[in-house]
Structure 1
Amino acid sequence: MSEPLAGNHGRQGPTSSAGRPGVAPVVSALGRETSCDVLVVGGGINGAGIARDLAGRGLRVVMCEKDDLAQHTSSSSTKLIHGGLRYLEYYEFSLVRKALIEREVLLRSAPHIMWPLRFVMPHDRSLRPVWMIRAGLFLYDHLAKREVLPASTTVNLRHHEAGQPLKPFYTKGFVYSDGWVDDARLVVLNALDAQQRGARIYTRTRCIEARRSATGWHATLQSRDGETVTVSARAVVNAAGPWAGQFLREHAHQRDTKGLRLVKGSHIVVKKMFDHPMAYIFQNPDKRIIFAIPYEQDYTLIGTTDVEHKGAIGEARIDDSEIAYLCEQASRYFAKPVTRADVVWTYAGVRPLLDDASGDPSAVTRDYLLDLDTSEAPLLSVWGGKITTFRKLAEEAADRLCPALGHQGGAWTSGQHLPGGDLSSYIGAAQRPDTDFERFDQSLADRHPWLPPALRRRLARNYGSRVDLVLGRAQQLSDLGEEVAPHLREAELRYLCNHEWAGSADDVLWRRTKLGLHMTPEQRQAVATWFERGSAPTEPATLASMR
């Protein structure tokens, strides 16, 4: 199956009024001028994170994204919150430490979409020696403080459940901790928090022109139906990811001072290869690694590749050689070979990595650089980065930008929940993010015993404490409206349109949820038809009206 995240994502929904979350561009006073302190260009994880941080410091923020939130790189990751064990081999100690510190900060902020995950590394005697792996794991355990995640250990795969799906050749394994994240939902939650703190979020809206002067910026934003709004901003943040250089050159009329390596990472999804809840990290003879991760209950996610991307940025697709590579490397470890016929879904994204002159794409740094130009009105460009360090990147960006704007406002995000992440109304005081979620799920079952367990669990994972906005006053399953497709009812679709900028079936099926993976083509078409027949709300409700 080809990767469904790129290309045409369905019709654009109706435009909402100023400041309201809608099913298309949230544009106020189209055709007139609006003003703000900061215009953020790019609705991936870095743009949404920066918009959230700045709005929380009291700045007036507008964020625009030419497509859907997280439509490209930020929904195409391996979906891990991790320090990057393999980066230790490239002496990226500062990056690894920064990422390790962030793991538990993020896990506590949204325990419904992020949770701890144990990784098993089978030892291949022909590759890295035992002493090297143990040394690396010792560093990994001690570079940053851990309160939630357990330390690494060694296991005998002949007797451990993780050894059962593997070839008998692998007798020793190393187990360590990192975390899992629903990457696309992480972006949406940051955008939601930014909006709740006063930011205006424009989706499916391009910044087609940005003119700079000594006193400010004048930018023209254009929605897909051709309507425009002019934004006067004191500063611009270029968080366009793989398009960052292009935005500077073609739209902001500025010199592109940094080089990006565009590296494609591709993944395959196959039917479930093992029953236990742990993931695998496999070492390959080419010195790379791949992961095999439990995915969506019934599947295993395998990735990733690192391939120089030469084509159009928004049209990344996995190619046959990448599928063959992932199948071959996974088959070196699994007793049951992974074949092309086993692949049920693929996805690929382009990582915008800082060009550090490394010959091997796998060796290119995953660290980021913030470039602040104050020669005229401030321009902050974001180069590189990884999903684990997005919050720290956003904090550092705001720390640098606020003084340039003469604004007083300190860092605030490290101890704050993302929307839906505060479960206290269900469970009382937080304890541990992993056990907190289980207590929340049980409390949700107690309050709504009519919810089928699988549906309840999915809603709990997707929305956390915001599930109340989905369920409303429902007392029975039929109160949630028509079942448009299996396990997807109108109440949830309307919530996603009203509050999370969903404007097409793809937005819902492949980013806000992963229900598309579980549906037939006919069932996915039923969701598209729901949008096409105008079932999406034409006047979205405000968050205030739903409280």
Structure 2
Amino acid sequence: MSDTSEIFDVLIVGGGVNGTGLARDAVGRGLTTILCEKDDLAQGTSSRSGKLVHGGLRYLEYYEFRLVREALTEREVLMDAAPHIIWPMRFVLPHSPEQRPAWLVRLGLFLYDHLGGRKKLPGTRSLDLLREPEGKPIKDDYSRGFEYSDCWVDDARLVVLNALDARERGATILTRTAATSIEREGELWTAVLKSEDGTSRTVRARSVVNAAGPWVENIVRNVARQNSAKRVRLVKGSHIITRKFWEGPQAYLFQNTDKRVIFVNPYQGDLTLIGTTDIAYKGDAGEVAVDEGEIDYLLKAVNRYTKQQLRREDVVSAFSGVRPLLEDDADNPSAVTRDYVFDVADVEGKAPMLSVYGGKITTYRELAERGMDRLQGYFPRMGKGWTARVPLPGGDMPGADFDRFERDLKARHAFLPPELAHHYARLYGTRADRLLAGATSLSGLGQHFGGRLYEAEARYLMANEWARRADDILTRRTKHYLHMTPAEIDAFTAWMDRQEGAEAA
């Protein structure tokens, strides 16, 4: 099937955080926008991050002051935009004099507190780990520590919320649809978009934005057959999940013997997310997986500091992602810049292709805004940047006050168990009422698949958030897979397969 009747202003390739952020920004400026993603939204790097909106404390050692300042500024913006999926977290940093002297740590934290115009989050404080409760899980060898602020983010939902807002403003979002050919034809691009069922759609666009992440070079060289001096270095980052082994809401940051840092964060209530590694990666980005050496590395880094010694059997799950960083020829993968660069190529001022190299989840909104600014000259009537002032779907809470919103939601739906109400509030924010519409009891939510997953949520995600497979729901739209048995996951997968089969029929 072919349709070349419509000419879009912008064709975006890539449904990760950068691609969906660019789609939202573009359509909000008045540009007709279409986005294609070869898999599910956030299926690659954008659902496999450390799930933090942070300035990048360790980047200060590489003199990335501008990057840290911009990230810290964005941290404040994003807290207002999506208070349901982004919230403050305090990090405890035990001091290890073998890695960094105390004065250097204090200086870094002072800069971290002041570089980005911090307004909402509390500043750094010193800790006596032998006396204060935050030191209870830490070995007595580490008597001194510091506590500072950053933020947690549900990374995959951040991607979906940007896609939702883009669609509601008029953008076309195509998942499981690959760009197989992109060619310049005069002042336009002609692209062939092929869905996984084998059908093709031909579209024309005045510009192309290549936000394909680890596949950005493939789009430039093989799909669009263009040249670029920019290169991507793929760096593998892996995380493990264990049971939570301390009391309190605080997270921990451990300095490792190789001078890297390891985050140990509360996760999904009773779990712990530990990461990350930094390893040069040469394989297929779609096949990346955690290896035993990485698991051993993370366990050893944590066990150096904690009284409770984690073992291999304590690891309940793991995931790995590939970061598409701009190649800057640094010898150490950890030293490769997390900054981003745009490459814009056109022909006589027409038919530009903007390719995105590098970036980090914290600065995705700013990246999108600057990326569209780079296209301003090609679209003189394009509006100005606007996303810094507008909440994401579900985030339109008075004063960005999540706690008050959650209390009101629980009062309106008193039949919900507290943990289930919290789950809906966190994932859907002010749109939770849409999911719960008409339900006055748990039975009104339909079939219970296990954990906190009910049929009403699954159907809402299928109808509104591009979910088509069990993994779309269990792993990316939610994290229900961590709270369900293998038998429950199998049963839900079979149910989803039946829904897809019925839709196809």
Unaligned ranges ≥5, structure 2: none
In the other structure, the counterpart of 1:426 is none
What is the CA deviation profile of residues 428-450 of structure 1, one whole-angstrom value per residue up to 9, with x for unaligned ones? x31xx4xx111111101111111
Label 1:333 to 1:225 Cα distance change in 2 as closer, same or farther (>3 A).
same
Q: CA deviation at 1:330?
A: 0.5
Q: Report how many residues are paired.
A: 501
CA distance in structure 1 between the partners assigned to 2:346 and 2:333 by the alignment: 32
Could you tell me which amino acid in structure 1 is paired with residue 366 of structure 2?
K
**Alignment of 1:527 onto 2:492:** yes
In the other structure, the counterpart of 2:22 is 50
Among 317, 324, 332, the residue aligned to 1:360? 332
In the other structure, the counterpart of 1:7 is none
**Alignment of 1:165 onto 2:137:** yes
* Aligned partner of residue 282 in structure 1, secondary structure: strand
Could you tell me which amino acid in structure 1 is paired with residue 364 of structure 2?
F
After TM superposition, list the pairs within 5 Å mapping 1:211-290 onto structure 2.
211-290=183-262
Among 417, 421, 424, the residue aligned to 2:391? 417
Does the aligned pair in 2 maintain the 1:485–1:526 contact within 8 Å? no
After TM superposition, list the pairs within 5 Å mapping 1:274-353 onto structure 2.
274-353=246-325
CA distance in structure 2 between the partners assigned to 1:227 and 1:215 by the alignment: 26
Could you tell me which amino acid in structure 2 is paired with residue 143 of structure 1?
L
TM-score by length of 1: 0.90
* Aligned partner of residue 115 in structure 1, secondary structure: strand
In the other structure, the counterpart of 1:31 is 2
Label 1:150 to 1:90 Cα distance change in 2 as closer, same or farther (>3 A).
same
CA distance in structure 2 between the partners assigned to 1:209 and 1:225 by the alignment: 17
Could you tell me which amino acid in structure 1 is paired with residue 324 of structure 2?
P
CA distance in structure 2 between the partners assigned to 1:379 and 1:192 by the alignment: 24
In the other structure, the counterpart of 1:114 is 86
* Aligned partner of residue 526 in structure 1, secondary structure: helix
CA distance in structure 1 between the partners assigned to 2:233 and 2:149 by the alignment: 29
In the other structure, the counterpart of 2:442 is 477
* Aligned partner of residue 534 in structure 1, secondary structure: helix
CA distance in structure 1 between the partners assigned to 2:144 and 2:216 by the alignment: 45
After TM superposition, list the pairs within 5 Å mapping 1:8-87 onto structure 2.
30-33=1-4, 34-87=6-59
Q: CA deviation at 1:354?
A: 0.7
Does the aligned pair in 1 maintain the 2:468–2:500 contact within 8 Å? no
In the other structure, the counterpart of 1:24 is none
CA distance in structure 1 between the partners assigned to 2:379 and 2:91 by the alignment: 44
* Aligned partner of residue 135 in structure 1, secondary structure: helix
CA distance in structure 1 between the partners assigned to 2:502 and 2:368 by the alignment: 33
CA distance in structure 2 between the partners assigned to 1:37 and 1:299 by the alignment: 45
Could you tell me which amino acid in structure 1 is paired with residue 269 of structure 2?
Q
CA distance in structure 1 between the partners assigned to 2:169 and 2:391 by the alignment: 13
Unaligned ranges ≥5, structure 1: 1-29, 424-428, 540-547
Among 187, 191, 196, the residue aligned to 2:168? 196
TM-score by length of 2: 0.97
Moved over 4 A (4+): none
* Aligned partner of residue 378 in structure 1, secondary structure: strand
What is the CA deviation profile of residues 242-283 of structure 1, one whole-angstrom value per residue up to 9, with x for unaligned ones? 000011111111113211110000000011121210111100
Does the aligned pair in 1 maintain the 2:71–2:116 contact within 8 Å? no
**Alignment of 1:445 onto 2:417:** no
Could you tell me which amino acid in structure 1 is paired with residue 276 of structure 2?
T
**Alignment of 1:397 onto 2:368:** no
Does the aligned pair in 1 maintain the 2:31–2:382 contact within 8 Å? no
In the other structure, the counterpart of 1:406 is 380
Could you tell me which amino acid in structure 1 is paired with residue 12 of structure 2?
V
In the other structure, the counterpart of 2:483 is 518
Among 103, 108, 119, the residue aligned to 2:75? 103
In the other structure, the counterpart of 2:128 is 156
What is the CA deviation profile of residues 328-371 of structure 1, one whole-angstrom value per residue up to 9, with x for unaligned ones? 01100111112211100000000000111100000000000011
Could you tell me which amino acid in structure 1 is paired with residue 300 of structure 2?
E
In the other structure, the counterpart of 1:13 is none
What is the CA deviation profile of residues 77-105 of structure 1, one whole-angstrom value per residue up to 9, with x for unaligned ones? 00000000000000000100000100010
In the other structure, the counterpart of 1:26 is none
Among 366, 376, 383, the residue aligned to 2:357? 383
What is the CA deviation profile of residues 469-514 of structure 1, one whole-angstrom value per residue up to 9, with x for unaligned ones? 1101211111111113332111111110010000101000000000
* Aligned partner of residue 87 in structure 1, secondary structure: helix
In the other structure, the counterpart of 1:462 is 427
CA distance in structure 2 between the partners assigned to 1:275 and 1:514 by the alignment: 22
CA distance in structure 1 between the partners assigned to 2:97 and 2:284 by the alignment: 41
After TM superposition, list the pairs within 5 Å mapping 1:122-137 onto structure 2.
122-137=94-109
Q: CA deviation at 1:537?
A: 7.8
Could you tell me which amino acid in structure 2 is paired with residue 398 of structure 1?
M
Does the aligned pair in 2 maintain the 1:497–1:536 contact within 8 Å? no
* Greater RCO (Cα-Cα under 8 Å, separation 6 or more): 1
Q: CA deviation at 1:452?
A: 1.1
Does the aligned pair in 2 maintain the 1:41–1:239 contact within 8 Å? yes
Q: Which moved more, 1:370-379 or 1:381-390?
A: 370-379
What is the CA deviation profile of residues 4-60 of structure 1, one whole-angstrom value per residue up to 9, with x for unaligned ones? xxxxxxxxxxxxxxxxxxxxxxxxxx5322421100000000000000000101110
* Aligned partner of residue 499 in structure 2, secondary structure: coil
Label 1:537 to 1:456 Cα distance change in 2 as closer, same or farther (>3 A).
farther
* CA root-mean-square deviation: 1.2
Could you tell me which amino acid in structure 1 is paired with residue 272 of structure 2?
T
Could you tell me which amino acid in structure 2 is paired with residue 131 of structure 1?
W
CA distance in structure 2 between the partners assigned to 1:236 and 1:132 by the alignment: 45
In the other structure, the counterpart of 2:451 is 486
Does the aligned pair in 1 maintain the 2:71–2:363 contact within 8 Å? yes
Among 157, 160, 170, the residue aligned to 1:185? 157
What is the CA deviation profile of residues 292-311 of structure 1, one whole-angstrom value per residue up to 9, with x for unaligned ones? 00000111110000001111
